[in-house]
């Protein structure tokens, strides 16, 4: 089976070294302002330092995918005796919280690794070397046509089970008309 | 469009509950920059000199500096200004942390509180929504615990909260305003806040702060950043460890306290213990410190880690910074560092200043030892052998104003006056009624003499910096120091440093000469006043040797941030303007040459004639008359004619009185 090369961009977070200064938030919002470097607003930052000072928690988290629905359940992690709040490690922009949404429009924010820069600005600006940027190459198996078809079938079947074939057909017809 | 600043004040009338968002005149920024600079102007305009600290008319201003919320490293300072209940002059106290930037993001450069609330309240600001909320259920809460209680009550984990403890509620002159890892503690800002019945100010902001030329600002900051890295990797040689780096003194990082414990004085600012730092002490203190400090932490957008999360046995966690690690222990003559970590937690919850309070406690026990206070005043106090227990006991009496604590809570100057019977002699470490850093030295230092005497903050740490504290013994050390010194205003300063000797003709007190000292002190003062306007931490600028921010890059940064065209001369004019206004305000309240004196015992060897000459020369250099009042010419140059008119009308500045009268007095 054929393999293809993929670049994985990664920011390693050494939360134990974080001094809680939030320079990463400043740099991120400064870089992403429009025009670039015109304004600052950590509330628009795609990295946030979740902070519980007296619990010794300073946790930089990057904005991940947007999700329109919140999870049905929540997790609470205890690591090294420190209890991390529900959603603590989650990177989603989600209805359950204000994190990773534009404060005015509410539109979701997502880290883009500062496309075009040699490394993300938060990494460059981090004053305590908490954030380390890495790129690594991985070889992944290329998907075959058969596998793709199988995935499509499974997806459609589950939709048909949930909504019925009629509704699915109607929805597809509407999509067709739109095209 | 306003750049770097938000262009609005929040005016809060506590008597009526009226809250208004008021647009400010951009001209004020051009004249006074921001932060304390523009704050002083408000006090001048709105608070007549007859107003007493606890009058309704004494406004309380929280100012975020002009650079707060910009990407400038270490621009996170809040200047809180008010007529001080201790000095009765315009006091200002400052804190770092995270509050100032949050206020800017909420859309305001300042909050101005006027009048008093009938009941205890706290202010909650979320961008444009502002609410005065009932705080009666928070009465008596510690200044740290209340911050979390308010965040929980509001369900706003990201709100930044500045709060007072019981000492503030009780209007103690040593009451501080606490906020996360930072305190605004000098001169009784917490007392004025308590008098106005404000338990806390909570703020959350989500608005943009704009820069006039952000790309240029960014380029300039890269240079600042490079220099910070360079300085962190290259401590200055030939000076004490504590002076070799940048940031405020790295008390949480360094465990070697030989210098502080043996050079500073113990008890009621009394005696040195020159052989204190033994091997046993070093071992025990190092082990206590390393096991107590959980993590070193920073203020907003700052590379230095001047504070720490403290986790001491049997004590709730809290955050400590700087010198409070030593002040209580040394005042109590305790040899246990562990005691300091325990008592500072209590002191912070009560919300008291870590410099004045320990001296007040030591002062009281000295009065007891000398029979001026009696056993009756200390009923219930642990025995004198229990040096630590009795300090804990009295600290609580002071914060709660119970028994003798009620008298002591006003500070050593006022307490001594009320106690009488010779107690004044024991309130010996004050300038303008305010307790000073406990240090007693041999021979008069002319630079320090001027800084101590004339600074409006009345605290040496807000006056010193940039110039080495002592001459280097060897020429090669001096050469090494001056070869890389881009922070200087003028090359001639290098020559002075090269000539400066530890002993002999060219040593203190006669060298640097009075005119040289005037220029050195004027330069350092300008740096401090600039930092106070910009909201920059003095630890990255005015307070340090060879800092990343200095007179040669401030103007470029200010121009890029604000769009104003500011060069070095223009910056100097702006900060001189607010400096002179501050002084004139205090002159209007009665301050003059007679008040500008370091403690009599600060140096063993004094030179009265030289000291007079230093003061007169410095005043003349500043454009102040013999009494230390800015002359009409000086005020006119600084566009402060209205100040000259006012001072003349009040008879403080005599018509036509100017530079010439120096000569009269000198002859």
pLDDT digits (tens, 9 = 90+) for A127-139: 889 999 999 999 9
ipTM: 0.95
Report chain A residues whose CB lies below 8 A from the CB of B207. 41, 43, 103
Q: Are B132 and B17 in contact (CB under 8 A)?
A: yes
Q: What are A28-76's pLDDT values in tens digits?
A: 999 999 999 999 999 999 999 999 999 999 999 999 999 988 888 888 8
pLDDT band at B25 (very low <50, low <70, confident <90, very high): very high
Question: Does A175 reach chain B within 8 Å, measured CB to CB?
Answer: no
Q: How far apart are CA B544 and CA B437, in angstroms?
A: 17
pLDDT of residue B656: 56
DSSP class per residue in B487-542: T-S-THHHHHHHH--SSSTTSTTTSS-HHHHHHHHHHHHHHHHHHHHHTB-GGGTT
Q: What are B55-103's pLDDT values in tens digits?
A: 999 999 999 999 999 999 999 999 999 999 999 999 999 999 999 999 9
Q: How far apart are CA A4 and CA B294, in angstroms?
A: 46
Q: Do A41 and B207 touch (CB under 8 A)?
A: yes
Report chain B residues whose CB lies below 8 A from the CB of A127. 73, 228, 298, 302-303
pLDDT band at B667 (very low <50, low <70, confident <90, very high): very low
Q: What are B393-423's pLDDT values in tens digits?
A: 999 999 999 999 999 999 999 999 999 999 9
Report chain A residues whose CB lies below 8 A from the CB of B305. 19, 128
pLDDT of residue A147: 84
Domain ranges of chain A: 3-140, 143-178
* pLDDT at residue B604 is higher than 50: yes
Q: How far apart are CA B36 and CA B47, in angstroms?
A: 15
> In this structure, what are the phi and psi dihedrals at residue A80, rounded to the nearest 5 degrees?
55, 35
Which chain B residue lies closest to A101 (C-alpha atoms)?
B206
How many percent of chain A have pLDDT more than 90?
65
> In this structure, what are the phi and psi dihedrals at residue B650, rounded to the nearest 5 degrees?
-85, -5
Question: Does A124 reach chain B within 8 Å, measured CB to CB?
Answer: no
Residues facing residue A9 across a β-bridge: A135
Q: How far apart are CA B591 and CA B460, in angstroms?
A: 18
Q: What is the mean pLDDT of chain B?
A: 96
Q: What are B514-565's pLDDT values in tens digits?
A: 999 999 999 999 999 999 999 999 999 999 999 999 999 999 999 999 999 9
Q: Do B303 and A36 touch (CB under 8 A)?
A: no
Q: Are A44 and A103 in contact (CB under 8 A)?
A: yes
**Contacts for A166 with CB less than 8 Å, ≥ 6 apart:** none
CA distances in angstroms from B210 to A122, B101, B110, B274, B563, listed in the order given:
19, 13, 17, 53, 11
Q: Write the residue in A27, A37, A44 that is nearest to B215 by C-beta.
A: A37
How many percent of chain B have pLDDT more than 70?
98
- What 3-state class would DSSP assign to A56? coil
Q: How far apart are CA B398 and CA A94, in angstroms?
A: 50
Q: Is B284 exposed, middle or buried (0-12, 13-18, 19+ CB in 10 A)?
A: middle
Query: Do strands B8-13 and A131-141 pair parallel, antiparallel, or not at all (unpaired)?
Result: unpaired
Nearest to B182 by CA among B248, B234, B118, B279: B248
Q: What are B208-224's pLDDT values in tens digits?
A: 999 999 999 999 999 99
Q: Do B105 and A56 touch (CB under 8 A)?
A: no
CATH node for B8-204: 3.60.9.10
pLDDT of residue B643: 98
Q: How many CB pairs under 8 A join A and B?
A: 89
Domain ranges of chain B: 8-204, 235-376, 441-666
Q: How far apart are CA B163 and CA B159, in angstroms?
A: 12
- Give the closest-approach CA distance of B462 to chain A in angstroms: 23
- Give the closest-approach CA distance of B318 to chain A in angstroms: 7
Q: Do A38 and B205 touch (CB under 8 A)?
A: no
Among A91-100, A104-113, B120-129, which range has the highest average pLDDT? B120-129
Q: What are B457-500's pLDDT values in tens digits?
A: 898 888 899 999 999 999 999 999 999 999 999 999 999 999 99
- Give the closest-approach CA distance of A45 to chain B in angstroms: 11
> Which DSSP symbol is given to B382?
P
Q: Do B318 and A54 touch (CB under 8 A)?
A: yes
Please say whether the structural domain B441-666 has been given the CATH code 1.10.599: yes
How many percent of chain B have pLDDT more than 90?
93
pLDDT of residue B657: 58
Q: Is B110 exposed, middle or buried (0-12, 13-18, 19+ CB in 10 A)?
A: buried
* pLDDT at residue B662 is higher than 60: no
pLDDT of residue B666: 45
- What 3-state class would DSSP assign to B267? coil
- Give the closest-approach CA distance of B562 to chain A in angstroms: 12
pLDDT band at B130 (very low <50, low <70, confident <90, very high): very high
Q: Are A46 and A22 in contact (CB under 8 A)?
A: no
Please say whether the structural domain B235-376 has been given the CATH code 1.10.645.10: no
Q: Do B73 and A23 touch (CB under 8 A)?
A: yes
* pLDDT at residue B301 is higher than 50: yes
Residues in chain B whose Cβ is within 8 Å of chain A: 69-71, 73, 98, 105, 148, 180-181, 205-211, 214-215, 217-218, 228, 294-303, 305, 309, 311, 316-319
Residue window 13-72, chain A: list those with CB within 8 Å of chain B: 19-23, 26-27, 30, 33, 36-44, 53-54, 56, 58
Choose from B301, B311, B345 for mutation: most chain A CBs within 10 A. Answer: B301
Mean of the pLDDT values across residues B337-357?
A: 97
């Amino acid at each position: 089976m054929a393999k293809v090369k993929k670049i994985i961009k990664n920011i390693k977070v050494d939360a134990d070294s974080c001094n809680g200064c939030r320079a990463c938030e400043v740099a991120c919002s400064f870089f992403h302002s429009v025009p670039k470097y015109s304004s600052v607003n950590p509330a628009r930052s795609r990295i946030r330092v979740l902070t519980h000072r007296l619990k010794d928690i300073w946790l930089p988290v990057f904005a991940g995918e947007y999700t329109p629905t919140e999870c049905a359940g929540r997790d609470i992690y205890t690591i090294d005796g420190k209890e991390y709040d529900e959603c603590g490690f989650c990177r989603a922009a989600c209805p359950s919280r204000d994190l990773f949404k534009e404060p005015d429009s509410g539109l979701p924010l997502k880290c883009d690794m500062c496309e075009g820069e040699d490394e993300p600005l938060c990494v460059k600006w981090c004053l305590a070397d908490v954030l380390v940027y890495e790129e690594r190459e991985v070889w992944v198996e290329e998907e075959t046509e058969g596998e793709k078809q199988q995935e499509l079938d499974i997806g459609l079947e589950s939709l048909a089970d949930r909504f019925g074939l009629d509704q699915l057909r109607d929805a597809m017809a509407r999509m067709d008309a739109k095209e | 469009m306003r750049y770097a600043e938000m262009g609005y004040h929040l005016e809060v009338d506590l008597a009526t509950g009226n809250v208004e968002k008021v647009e400010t005149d951009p001209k004020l920024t051009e004249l006074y920059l921001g932060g304390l600079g523009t704050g002083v102007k408000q006090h001048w305009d709105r608070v007549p000199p007859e107003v007493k600290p606890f009058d309704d008319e004494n406004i309380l201003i929280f100012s975020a500096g002009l650079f707060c919320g910009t990407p400038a490293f270490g621009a996170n300072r809040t200047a809180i200004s008010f007529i001080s209940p201790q000095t009765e002059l315009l006091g200002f106290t400052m804190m770092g942390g995270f509050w100032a930037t949050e206020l800017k993001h909420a859309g305001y450069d300042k909050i101005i509180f006027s009048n008093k609330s009938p009941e205890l309240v706290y202010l909650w600001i979320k961008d444009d929504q502002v609410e005065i909320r009932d705080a009666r259920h928070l009465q008596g809460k510690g200044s740290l615990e209340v911050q979390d209680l308010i965040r929980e009550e509001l369900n706003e984990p990201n709100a930044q909260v500045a709060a007072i403890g019981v000492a503030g509620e009780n209007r103690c002159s040593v009451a501080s305003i606490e906020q996360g890892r930072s305190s605004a503690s000098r001169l009784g800002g917490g007392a004025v806040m308590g008098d106005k019945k404000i338990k806390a100010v909570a703020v959350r902001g989500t608005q943009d702060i704009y820069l006039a030329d952000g790309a240029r600002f960014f380029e300039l900051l890269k240079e600042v950043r490079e220099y910070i890295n360079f300085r962190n990797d290259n401590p200055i040689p030939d000076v004490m460890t504590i002076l070799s780096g940048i940031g405020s003194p790295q008390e949480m990082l360094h465990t070697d306290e030989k210098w502080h414990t043996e050079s500073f004085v113990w008890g009621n600012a009394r005696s040195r213990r020159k052989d204190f730092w033994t091997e046993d002490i070093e071992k025990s203190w190092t082990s206590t410190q390393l096991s107590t400090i959980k993590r070193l932490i920073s203020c907003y957008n700052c590379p230095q880690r001047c504070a720490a999360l403290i986790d001491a046995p049997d004590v709730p966690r809290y955050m400590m910074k700087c010198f409070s690690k030593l002040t209580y222990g040394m005042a109590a003559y305790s040899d246990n560092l562990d005691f300091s970590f325990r008592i500072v937690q209590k002191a912070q919850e009560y919300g008291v200043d870590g410099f004045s309070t320990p001296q007040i406690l030591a002062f009281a026990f000295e009065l007891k030892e000398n029979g001026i206070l009696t056993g009756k005043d200390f009923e219930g106090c642990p025995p004198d052998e229990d040096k630590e227990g009795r300090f804990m006991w009295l600290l609580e009496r002071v914060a709660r104003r119970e028994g003798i604590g009620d008298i002591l809570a006003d500070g050593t100057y006022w307490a001594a006056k009320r106690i009488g019977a010779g107690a004044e002699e024991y309130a010996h470490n004050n300038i303008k009624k305010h307790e000073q850093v406990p240090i007693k030295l041999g021979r008069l230092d002319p630079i320090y003499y001027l800084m101590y005497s004339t600074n409006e903050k009345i605290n040496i740490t807000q006056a010193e910096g940039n110039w080495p504290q002592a001459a280097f013994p060897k020429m090669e050390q001096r050469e090494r120091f001056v070869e890389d010194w881009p922070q200087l205003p003028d090359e001639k300063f290098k020559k002075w440093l090269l000539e400066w000797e530890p002993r002999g003709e060219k040593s203190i007190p006669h060298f640097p000469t009075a005119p040289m000292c005037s220029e050195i002190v004027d330069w350092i003062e300008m740096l401090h006043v600039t930092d106070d306007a910009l909201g920059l931490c003095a630890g990255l600028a005015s307070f340090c040797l060879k800092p990343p921010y200095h007179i040669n890059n401030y103007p470029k940064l200010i121009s890029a941030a604000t769009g104003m065209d500011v060069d070095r001369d223009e910056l100097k004019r702006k900060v001189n303007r607010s400096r002179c206004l501050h002084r004139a305000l205090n002159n209007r309240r009665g301050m003059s040459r007679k008040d500008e004196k370091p403690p009599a015992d600060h140096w063993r060897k004094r030179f009265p004639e030289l000291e007079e000459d230093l003061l007169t020369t410095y005043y003349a250099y500043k454009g102040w008359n013999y009494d230390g009042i800015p002359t009409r010419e000086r005020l006119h140059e600084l566009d402060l004619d209205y100040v000259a008119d006012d001072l003349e009308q009040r008879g403080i500045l005599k018509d036509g009185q100017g530079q010439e009268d120096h000569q009269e007095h000198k002859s």
